[in-house]
Amino acid sequence: MIERIAGGVVDVHAHWLPRDLFHLPPGAPYGALADRDGELHLGEVPLSIAATAMSDIAAVRADMDTTRVGVRVLSAPPFAFPVGDPAAGHDAADYVASFNQALSRVAADSDGALVGLGLVGLHDESAVRAELEALARMPGMAGVAIPPLLRGDSLDRGVLRAVVTGAAELDLAVLVHPMQLPRPEWSSYYLANLVGNPTETATAVASLLLSGLAEELPLLRICFVHGGGSAPGLLGRWEHAFGRRADVARSAKRGPREGFRELFLDTVTHDADELDLLVARAGSDRVAVGSDYPFDMAQPHPVAFAVDNGLSPTSLTTAGRTFLGLTPER
User: Cα separation of 249 and 242, whole Å?
Assistant: 5
Length of the chain: 330
Model pTM above 0.85: yes
- Three-class secondary structure of residue 271 per DSSP: coil
pLDDT tens by residue, the chain, 330 residues: 788 899 999 999 999 999 999 999 988 888 899 999 999 999 888 998 999 999 999 999 999 999 999 999 999 999 999 998 766 556 788 999 999 999 999 999 999 999 999 999 998 899 999 999 999 999 999 999 999 999 999 999 999 999 999 999 999 999 999 999 989 999 999 999 999 999 999 999 999 999 999 999 999 999 999 999 999 999 999 999 999 999 999 999 999 999 999 999 999 999 999 999 999 999 999 999 999 999 999 999 999 999 999 999 999 999 999 999 997 544
Model pLDDT, residue 1 = 79
One-letter amino acid at 10 equals V
Instruction: Determine the pLDDT at residue 87.
Output: 67
CA gap 116, 21 in Å, rounded: 16
Residue 270: CB partners within 8 Å, gap ≥ 6? Answer: 299
Residue 144 backbone phi and psi in degrees, to 5: -140, 150
276-307: string of b/e by CB count within 10 Å (b at 16+)?
ebbbebbebebbbbbbbbbbeebbeebbebbb
224: closest CA among 310, 159, 154? 154
Distance of CA 319 to the CA centre of its chain: 15
Q: Which of 218, 258, 220 is CA-nearest to residue 239?
A: 258
CA gap 64, 267 in Å, rounded: 16
Alpha-carbon span 318 to 251, nearest angstrom: 32
pLDDT at residue 120, as a whole number: 96
pLDDT at residue 91, as a whole number: 78
Are the CB atoms for 111 and 101 separated by under 8 Å?
no
Element holding 36 (H helix, E strand): strand 33-36
Write the DSSP string, 142-187: EEEEE-S-BTTB-TTSHHHHHHHHHHHHTT-EEEE-------GGGS
In a 13 Å sphere around the CA of 171, the CA atoms on its Cβ side amount to: 8
Angle between helices 93-108 and 125-137 (to 10 degrees): 20
The pLDDT, as a whole number, for residue 90 is 66
